[in-house]
Chain A
Amino acid sequence: MEIVTKKSNDVLVVAISGRLDTITAPEFEKNILALVTPENKKIVLDCADLSYISSSGLRVILMTLKKVKANNGNLIICSLQESIKEVFNICGFSSLLTITTDCTSALGKI
C-alpha cells in the first residue's frame, strides 16, 4: 500500500495504490487521518490503483469520512475497481459518500 498526495486548487487528491487490508490498514489510518485537517476540507481519494480492500480498509474509510464531515468538508472517492465497488455496495458505502468513475469528475463535483 502506498499513498501519493497532490493539491489541485483547494482539493487534496490522495492516490492510494496496492492492497488495503488487515496488514496495511493501520499505516493508511495514520496517514490519511493526519491529512484530514481544517485546511484540507475537500479530499478526493483516487482508487484507480487500489487492487484490494477488506473490512479493515473500509473501517478507515468510514473514520476518514466522519472526520472530513466533522470539519464540514467533503470526501469523494473515484475510480474504484469493479470488485471493490461491489464491496462498497454490500456495505452501504455507496449511499454514504459520493463515488465517481474518474478523478476529473470527482474534482468537478467536490
Chain B
Amino acid sequence: MVLKNRLELRLSNSIEELQSLNTELEQFGEIWNLSPELIFNLNLVLEEILSNIIFYGYDDTTDHTINLNIALEGDIIEIEIIDDAKPFNPLNRPDPDVNQSLDARKIGGLGIYLVKKIMDKTEYVNKDGKNILILQKNIKT
C-alpha cells in the first residue's frame, strides 16, 4: 500500500536521541497538522519504548541502529519500531495494578502500560533476529 505521509528515522542506541526525536515529532506534527495532544501522546509512547530498548536491550557496548517509521494513513497513525536488541516482547509485561493504595504501589512499571492504554492496537513480532513493534492509533477518536 502506498502511504502518503511517512516519517522514517534511524536512531542510534543512545538516550540523547530522545531529545532530537522530540524536535522531529513537533516538526512533523506541524506538517501533518496533528494536535498538540496527539504529539504529546506519540512522544510519550516513543520515549517509553525507545528508552526500554536503549537501557535494557543491549548486552554489548557497540552502536546499534533502531529504525522508526511513522505513517499517517487516513485517520490511522502507525508506528513501527525495529531493533536488533535481545528478543523481547514489551507487551508481555504484566500490567501494574493502578488501583492499589499508596503503600502497596510499586515504584515504576508504568511505561509500557501507558503505551498500551494510549495506543489502540499493539503488536509484536520477532523476525529475522529483529524485534518489530507495531503500534496504531486512530487519531479521530
Given contacts A83-B37, A91-B98, contact A54 B107 (CB under 8 A): no
A108 to B102, CA, bound (A): 23
Q: Is B84 an interface residue (CB 8 A)?
A: no
Main secondary structure of the interface of A (DSSP, over half): helix
For residue A58, CB closer than 8 A to chain B, the reply is yes
In the complex, how many residues of chain A place their beta carbon closer than 8 angstroms to a beta carbon of chain B? 24
Smallest CB–CB gap between B4 and chain A, Å?
27
Main secondary structure of the interface of B (DSSP, over half): helix
- Distance A90 CA – B117 CA, assembled complex (angstroms): 7
Count of inter-chain pairs, beta carbons less than 8 A: 61
**Which of A1-9, A30-38, A62-70 makes up part of the contact surface?**
A62-70
Q: Is the CB of A56 within 8 A of B51?
A: yes
Residue of B nearest to A97 (CB): B102
11 additional A-B pairs beyond A22-B51, A23-B15, beta carbons within 8 Å, are A21-B47, A52-B43, A56-B51, A66-B107, A83-B37, A83-B41, A87-B114, A90-B98, A90-B117, A91-B114, A92-B100
- Please report A residues at the B interface, Cβ cutoff 8 Å: 19, 21-23, 52-56, 58-59, 62-63, 65-66, 69, 82-83, 87, 90-92, 95-96
